[in-house]
Chains A and B, each alone.
Chain A
Amino acid sequence: MTLLSIDTALVIEKLILIAVIIFASLGIALYTTFAERKVAAILQDRPGPNRAGPFGLLQPFADGLKLIAKEEIIPSGANKWLFILGPGLAMTAALMTCAVIPWGDKVELFGRTIALQVADINIGFLYIFGVVSLGVYGVMIGGWASNNKFSLLAALRGASQAISYELAMGLSMIALLMMTGTLQLGEIVKQQTGPGHHWNVIYQPLGFLIFLVCAFAECNRTPFDLPEAENELNFGYHQEYSSMKLGFYLFSEYINMFISSAVMATLFFGGYDLPFFNPANHTPNFAATIGIITLMAKVVMFIFFFMWVRWTVPRFRYDQLMNLGWKSMIPLALVNMLVTAVVILMRH
C-alpha cells in the first residue's frame, strides 16, 4: 500500500484524525459561544438563552444562521482580497494549533495502533509559539484592509498587545521547558502521567500563572479585550465586518480559547492524565477514552474559568495593560526562569 512512497493507510488515518479534530474544535467552539451566554446569564442572576430548542441548546445554530443570512458588506474603499483574507487567516491560525496537542493515548482500531495526536513533532512547543505569533496577521490585515482609521488603530492596539504578551508567554514556557527537557508535547504529557509523577503546575505555579494571564491576553479575553472594546474604544479591528466574516473573527476567538485551554491542560495539568487511574490496568481503548474525557473535562473547566473571569473583571486601560505586560509579566517570567535554572542546577 504505497503510493509515491507514502504509507497510504497512515495518510488516511491522519486525514480522518485531522477532520475529526477540526470538526470537534468547531463544534466545541460553537457551544462555547452558547456557554458564554449561559455562564454570563447565570453569574448575573438571569436564565440566559432558553428558547431555541430544549434549554436553548439550538441557540448557536440560530446565531450561525443569523450571521450567514445577514447582508455581506465590503466597504467601497477596502482592499477586497485582504478584507476577505483577514478572517480566514484568523480562523486558520486558530485551528492550526490542534495539530500538536495529544488528545489522548493510543487506541487500537482495525488492527492498527493509532496515536491520538496529529503530529508529535520534535518542536511541538515552538510550533505552538509560532502559530500564536501568526495569529496577529488576521487582526492586522483585517484592520488595515477595512480602510477605516478606527479599524487600523484597533488593529495596531491588538497587534501590539499580542506581541507584548507573546514575550512573557514564551519566557514562562522556557522555564517549563528547562524542567521537562523536551519540546515534544506527547513526551511532556507522558512525564506527568503515572504514579510518582506530578503535574507540572506543582513545580511551576508562577509559570502557570504567567502563562494563564498571557493566554487571556492572546485570546483577547477580558480583562485584556481592548482590541474589541465596543463601548469606549469604538469597537475593534472588525468594525467594518459583517455577516459570516465577522462571525469568523468572533468564532476564531472561541477556538483560540478552546485551544489555549487544551494547551494549558497539556503543559501544566497532565493532559489526558487522570490521577489515581492507571491506564496499564485497562485495555488501551478504554484507557484512551478515559484519557480523552479527562482532557475534555480539564478543557471545559478552563473555559469556564475564562468566562468566569470575563464576567467578573472590567477591562484594563491600555497603559495599564502595557505596564502589566512589560513591567510585571516579563520580569516575573525572567525571575521564574532564573529560579528554575538555579533549582535544576542544585539538584544535579
Chain B
Amino acid sequence: MQALTNRVIAVNRKPITFVESLYLWNILKGMMTTFSHIFKKKPTIYYPEVKRPFSPVFRGLHVLNRDEEGRERCTACGLCAVACPAEAITMEAAERVEGEEMLYREEKYAAKYEINMLRCIFCGLCEEACPKDAIYLSETFAPANFNRRGFIYGKPDLLIPNPLSQAADLALAKGN
C-alpha cells in the first residue's frame, strides 16, 4: 500500500534483542529524552497575567449594538430568533411612544431580549440574519456561574454602553 505521508513507520515485529531484554539501556535512553525536556522552552501561558489573543474570526458573547447617537438598533423583527438553530433567543416587541426617540432608532423596539448562553452554540447565524446590524458576537466568552438562571442574558447584560453618555465605559469594553 502506498503511504499517504512520509511519516509512516512500519510496526517492528522482530523479537526483542538481548540489549532490549535488559531493559536498562532502553530505560536510560528514555531518561535522556525526558532529561532533555528540562531545557526546553515551556509553552505555558500564565493565564490571568498573560492572555492569549483571540483569533479575528472568534465568535464569543453577544452584544446588542447602538448607533452613533446612542439609540438601540434592534427593532425586534425576530429574524435572529428564527435563524438561531439552538433556539436560544427570545424577545418581546414594543412600540416606541412619544419622547423615546432618543432611546430607540425605529418605531418598534425589543422590550425584552434574552439569550440563553447554555443553549447558544455561538454559530453566529443571528449576526448574519440581522438586517439592522443590531447583534454582534464579541471576543469574550460567558463567565462561569453558580446557577442556570445566571446564564440567561437579558438586555442590560447585552447592550453596549452608550457612545455619547458612557464613552469611557465603551472604550473599556472595547479593550483599549
Contacts and interface: CB of A to CB of B under 8 A. Distances in A.
A209 B27 CA distance: 13
A309 B24 CA distance: 11
B34 A45 contact: no
A43 B34 contact: yes
Interface string A37-77: 00000111111000000000000000000000000000000
A311 interface: yes
Interface of B: 24, 27, 30-31, 33-35, 37-38, 40-44, 46
Interface in A278-314: 308-309, 311-313
Could you tell me the dominant secondary structure of chain B's interface residues?
helix
A47 B45 CA distance: 10
B135 to A, nearest CB: 38
B34 A311 contact: yes
Contacts of A45: 37, 40-44
A47 B43 CA distance: 9
B49 to A, nearest CB: 11
Contacts of A311: 34
Nearest to A308: B31
A253 to B, nearest CB: 21
Chain A interface mostly: loop
Interface of A: 42-47, 209, 308-309, 311-313
Contact of A47 (B30, B38, B44): B44
A312 B33 contact: yes
B44 to A, nearest CB: 5
A242 to B, nearest CB: 25
Contact of B27 (A42, A44, A46, A313): A313
A313 B42 contact: no
Contacts of B24: 209
Contacts of A312: 27, 30-31, 33-34
B58 to A, nearest CB: 25
A45 B27 CA distance: 20
Contacts of B30: 312-313
Contact of A46 (B33, B34, B35, B42): B42
Contacts of A313: 27, 30-31
A46 B27 CA distance: 22
A38 B34 CA distance: 14
Contacts of A308: 31, 34-35
